[in-house]
Structure 1
Amino acid sequence: MASGSAPAVLHLVLGEDEFLTERATTGVVSAVRAATPAGQDPPVVSRLGGPEVTAPQLFELLSPSLFGEARIVVVTGAAELGKDAQAAVLDAARDLPPETVLVVQHTGGGRAKTLVADLRKAGAEEHAAGKITRHMDVVGFVRSEFRGLDVRVAPEACEALVEAVGTDLRQLASACGQLVADTGGKVDVEAVRRYHSGFVGVSGFTVAERAVTGDVAGAIEALEWALHTGVPEVVLADALADAVNSIALVGTQRGVPPAELAKQGLPPWKVKKVTAQTRYWSIETLGTALQVVARLNGEVKGRAENPYYALERAVREVGSLASL
């Protein structure tokens, strides 16, 4: 929210992630309601939007109220608004009626793409809701969730939770809150294992660590058990890619201080372990392994008819390369 005692009256929630979009919108609504003076009714929330919304509908909601009641108008699917509807939103944004807060949800693309820049010029407070896909960023999301709950959690435990739950942000946020409630804020790797044992008994990192150290048989055994216990295929592929990429990062920058590697995405606590793993690799075999995990990323996301066989083949290939 904007600094100061009163919440902003114009908000742009920008991004394609539905969970983050709704969370940001809920945050605005809560802040506005919390700022309602004592004795006054809280603002009424109205939602509408999308390609079928007309300018008259928007004009009716965004015009001054005859009774002066406080309102929060949430325009959903603003990326697909028609030309007249866009104009109605923008006209209102530039001169909002008293006691009216406008929240516009926009993916950043679509036929109303230019509305984003126009709302920024109108002074909208922006809330990021872009999709988070990189493993490192998903783990960062988990860490920020715990910080928001006033709990400090080690990076290893955040990694373990992503392994256990997957990359769905809604599920991860719920898992963070539940872990904090169940453990009294004492969240560590063991707590994650205890509360998510169905997934973490064998994790994607177990599979990846065995593969990148040349233990092909052990990696395949761990892969089969991880799939049996429900670890998602995409998570397993991400873990293998993370292991190979981490080795490439450290192996090509020998002697670089851990703090410098951290700036490039590798946490200091991981550097020692990855450094030990680099002895199994050469520049040539690493290059091939990077191609393997890049191919696997597409295969587990729909390019392969059978993601399981794609995973098994990639694990065997990486393990064999580490054994050379």
Structure 2
Amino acid sequence: MAAPRRSTPKSAIPQVSWRAPQPAPIVLVSGPEEVCAERAIAGVRDFLRAEDPSLEISDLRADDYTSGSLLTMTSPSLFGEPRLVRVAGAEKCSDAFLAEALAYIEAPQDGATVVLRHTGASVRGKKLLDAIRAGTGGGVEIACAAIKRDSDRFDFAAGEFQAAGRRIAPAALRALVGAFADDVTELAAACQQLISDIPGDIGEQIVERYYGGRIETTAFAVADTAIAGRYGEALITLRHALASGADPVPLVAAIASKLRTMARVAGSRESARELAARLGLKDWQVDRARRDLSGWNEASLGLAIQAAARADAEVKGGSRDPVFAVERLVTVIATRAPFGA
């Protein structure tokens, strides 16, 4: 699957996927997702090095810039080797860098590739970005949008295996994404580890063997049993998770995430595909939420969501006993009744 797509500022230059980066005199790597940006920059380096192993690589920071550095690093050497200059911190660039970079893109050096990293964290350097996007310097842009939603993470992980020419079962992919729901860097590393270690197709049992101990996976197991109304099993699963070192914060987050998806799906008669597209979910997430809604009604779901909001505040410092806060939340959800009723 392709990397998650987001709208980017209007640009007259080619937009290149971070999975298939291409060199140009100026390569703008924009957006906040560092995993994708690192891959893009490494891909440009590998492309250039494959063309000429004598590639000279230099690094500089736009926020701690010494005047003249950009021109010095891009100027031809005695033997005329190709040059790659990687510029970090463009979103915090100094006035000196901004002035020299604007002058440089008007007449880039032959044989030089300048990769400019801008996270989008500020509007600093906007004049330079606008000039590059207008086509000055003959650049390309590699947009690295934030990977936040479940569907984004699912697409990202699926793309890792597709790019490697490997097959992973849908259930295994869901389990893997669930195990690293809060860290794209770790998700990327886990995908690469499975690709490296496992010679054949990757099934759910393999993912469970490698990453079954992850807190996030345990958290969703607690959520699943509570939402299904299996009160005794939910408490046992919760206590096992806590005894294994699980933090109450991700436990509550996992439960709240499933409840929110249920609330978004509840009452809709659209097809799974149409609803998923409208809500930014995957078809399987809609199908799962609809199954989870069995036995729930508007009142019980509202009660559970309120309990999750209370538990979230308590485990983040609002209570002296976060473990009790989670246990009370699980009780409310599994019994579908107010605590102590």
TM-score w.r.t. the length of structure 1 is: 0.82
Which residue, 283, 288, 295 being the options, matches 1:280?
295
Contact 2:16 2:141 in 1 (8 A): no
Deviation at 1:299, TM superposition (A): 6.8
Distance 1:146 1:313, change over 3 A: farther
* CA deviation string 1:125-179 (max 9, x = no partner): 2223343233332232211111111123233212211333453223222221222
The residue number in structure 1 matching 2:146 is 131
CA contact (8 A) 2:16 2:143 kept: no
Structure 1 position 99 matched with structure 2 position 111: yes
Aligned to 2:7: none
Greater fraction helix: 1
Q: Deviations over 1:49-89 (max 9, x none)?
A: 04221332223223454543210000011111111211212
* Counterpart amino acid of residue 275 in structure 2: L
Asked if the contact 1:166–1:232 (Cα under 8 Å) also holds between the matched residues in 2, the reply is no
Work out whether residues 9 and 101 of structure 1, in 8 Å CA contact, stay in contact via their aligned partners in 2. Answer: yes
The aligned counterpart of 1:10 is: 26
User: How many Å separate the matches in 2 of 1:151 and 1:30?
Assistant: 22
Structure 2: 5+ residue stretches without partners: 1-14
| Deviation digits for residues 204-263 of structure 1 (CA, Å, limit 9, x no counterpart) | 22111122233344323222323444556565344323321232233220x322222332
CA RMSD of aligned residues (A): 3.4
Residue 25 of structure 1 is matched in structure 2 by: 41
1:103, CA displacement in angstroms? 0.2
Of 162, 167, 172 in structure 2, the residue corresponding to residue 152 of structure 1 is: 167
Aligned sequence identity (%):
34
Q: What SS does structure 2 have at the residue aligned with 1:184?
A: coil
The alignment's TM-score, normalised by the length of structure 2, stands at 0.79
Query: What's the counterpart of residue 180 of structure 1?
Result: 195
Query: 3-state DSSP class of the match of 2:213?
Result: helix
For 2:230, the equivalent position in structure 1 comes to: 215
Q: Aligned AA for 1:118? A: A
1:260 is aligned to 274
Find the aligned partners of 1:234 and 1:132 in 2 and give their Cα distance: 21
1:165-314 equivalences under 5 Å are 165-199=180-214, 203-229=218-244, 235-253=250-268, 255-263=269-277, 264-293=279-308, 308=323, 310-314=325-329
Report 1:74-89 matches (<5 A): 74-89=86-101
Q: 2:5 — aligned with what?
A: none
Structure 2 counterpart SS, 1:19 = helix
Count residues in correspondence: 319
